[in-house]
Chain A
Amino acid sequence: GDSVTQMEGPVTLSEEAFLTINCTYTATGYPSLFWYVQYPGEGLQLLLKATKADDKGSNKGFEATYRKETTSFHLEKGSVQVSDSAVYFCAPRMDSSYKLIFGSGTRLLVRP
């Protein structure tokens, strides 16, 4: 069935370090792909998205590219800040059922 696998956390980095959070999915067809972020005590906010193969979503210095051949949508940021500390969720939205499912979430902690 449809599923998504995210890199296990927590990920602990120093400020200005490079970030990669891996995400792969299984789905029939070509889902739209999203990254959401959840700050402590808050709901989920959309961080970025890509709706077709080779699209690159970007926002606030974060980027992710829709890789159809590897069914992946890895999140990257060149230089993280303390304020980026949060939980990040990869979420494919299936184009057959329009169901939106979430990965297990990856907690990021950035130290000064």
Chain B
Amino acid sequence: TQLLEQSPQFLSIQEGENLTVYCNSSSVFSSLQWYRQEPGEGPVLLVTVVTGGEVKKLKRLTFQFGDARKDSSLHITAAQPGDTGLYLCAGPYNQGGKLIFGQGTELSVKP
């Protein structure tokens, strides 16, 4: 059972375009995180959102946590080739400190 569904799974765009990646669930999460993974490396944390409706910005990346804390989105403005990578959302699952991940969105930004 995939508790976190990401869409789209693949995205190929031209440099300068805008894009949005979605992370949805039927469950309420106390927090959600977004990670970025480059080929041959482990994921790296981009942001953590903890409050429903919260918006955080990281340069050209804007992250939003849904009001009901069941979904989150990542918006990239004027994408650059350096944004290419796998974007993963993650949230705490049950008790005990586990973090569950969505299946990821593979982004390719062409010059």
On whether the two chains bind one another, the answer is no
- List B residues at the A interface (Cβ < 8 Å): none
